[in-house]
Amino acid sequence: MGSRNGVVFEDFFPAMVEKLGAEGFMKELGNGFRLLMDEEKGVITFQSLKRNSALLGLQGMSDEELMCMLREGDLDGDGALNEMEFCTLMFRLSPGLMESSSELLEEAIVSEF
């Protein structure tokens, strides 16, 4: 169990990766991105995150916590998260995934060829 800006979450990602494999897990992350994104803009905005956060069990997060999460993941500074930024943020928020990310990358590359 980890704590991020006062929000406590349980890190389920390593167990999901073990169950789904690297490719299946990345597909699930993509599904999570699509659940949270603004359909017109194709990115996760503060409004779409706030509107859909309950789908991920994040309904207890304050606007400030949601904004903080968005800012932390916004690598290009456009105020929104594209799919790559979302996946990167999810990896950074998961200590267990960070530890095994090189193995995941290797598995994903091997499955491509």
pLDDT per residue, tens digit, the chain (113 aa), is 444 444 444 566 777 777 877 788 788 888 889 989 999 999 999 999 999 888 777 778 899 989 998 999 999 999 999 999 998 888 787 766 666 555 656 666 666 55
pLDDT at 90: 84
pLDDT at 25: 79
Q: What is d(CA 71, CA 87) in angstroms, rounded to the nearest whole number?
A: 14
Residue 11, classed as helix, strand or coil, is coil
Q: What is d(CA 91, CA 113) in angstroms, rounded to the nearest whole number?
A: 24
